[in-house]
Amino acid sequence: MDGLEESVGGAGRRGTAHRDGPAECARTEASARGRNDGAPTLISPPERERPAARLPPPAYRLPLLRQAAVTSVQKAQATPTTLPPDAPALQLEQALQLLAQSGRTVPAGQAGSTRWLQDLIDALVDLSSRDALTGLANRRSFEMALAREVDRVARSGEPALLLMLDIDHFKRVNDRFGHAAGDDVLRSVATALMDSVRPMDLVARVGGEEFAIILPNCPAAFGATVAERVRRRVERSPVMAGPAGTAIDVTISIGGAFAPQWVRSTPALWIERADQQLYRAKAMGRNQVQLEAGAVSLVSSEERQALFETHPGETHADDPHPGFEGQDD
């Protein structure tokens, strides 16, 4: 999922992201009822429009292909790619083995050529921006995307929602069913989250059992609806664990916050606001959604400094409200 371009940057997005209308956040489809219990489910545009790069690599989606990945590594070690005599003196064995281990193919074309090397670099960049277990964007990619989105909202004034999600009582799953079942739960939740958002949205695994979703151009009127559909989608997807196929019921708690529009905020402040709502959801019983009361947040002292000061400690002379701590107008 890591092809964020311009507006959010990172994995799983396209440059046409912001041509999607705000109502796209709340799209439903009656045909989805066959998969779940009849409640509306947030869907993506037709599958053919979803970039292939957003889907987790096959090794993560199909456990049966893990052995194939191991075989690919063995082949890569046994038959290393032969570079032409005039190729740059580069040590590429480890890079090729890493691609094979992840279930990816070696770039096509003449080994050592400029095009081949660029394809190899692109594949390694994409691999380094993904979480190894789930195939989602990793923490590094998420932070880069969030920084770009903060800047975009400050310049354009368009709404953007950040959701922080945590699997409820995940430690109990590991303790009772084992870590292999815990990995299955993480992969299942990742799939449910990807199925619940648009191609323009970024889904990331940012911690052990913690996930995040960046939803650009998502107005406050749709925020609660989107978050609730994500929660229900996970709730309706039990995970079968062990040889006996024991069903593990999985739920998540969600906290969300909107980026302050027309204000030069910071990713850390945005995450803090969403985390505060996540803590509220967990304190109020878990398996629920808590969002900030309004899309326009109170401007913090740090945001006020970024808005009114050119350099730290230097206040604009025309600032009529040196003690301003009110709402962003």
- Catalytically active residues are 209
- The amino acid at 9: G
CB 22 within 8 A of CB 217: yes
- The DSSP secondary-structure symbol of 49 reads G
**Per-residue tokens: 122:** 């692109």
> If you write DSSP's letter for every residue of 246-304 in order, what string do you get?
EEE---EEEEEEEPPTTS---HHHHHHHHHHHHHHHHHTTSSSEEE-S-SSPBPPHHHH
Describe the chain by its helix, strand, coil percentages, rounded to 5: 45, 15, 40
Residue ranges of alpha helices (H) inside 215-256 are 220-235
Instruction: Tell me the angle at which helices 114-128 and 93-101 cross, rounded to the nearest 10 degrees.
Output: 50
Element (H, E) at 171: helix 170-177
Angle at 290 between CA 252 and CA 283, to 5 degrees: 70
d(CA 105, CA 209): 30
- The amino acid at 310: T
End-to-end CA, the chain: 35
- The DSSP secondary-structure symbol of 22 reads G
Write down the residue that tokens 């998420």 correspond to. Answer: 142
d(CA 187, CA 136): 9
d(CA 10, CA 136): 11
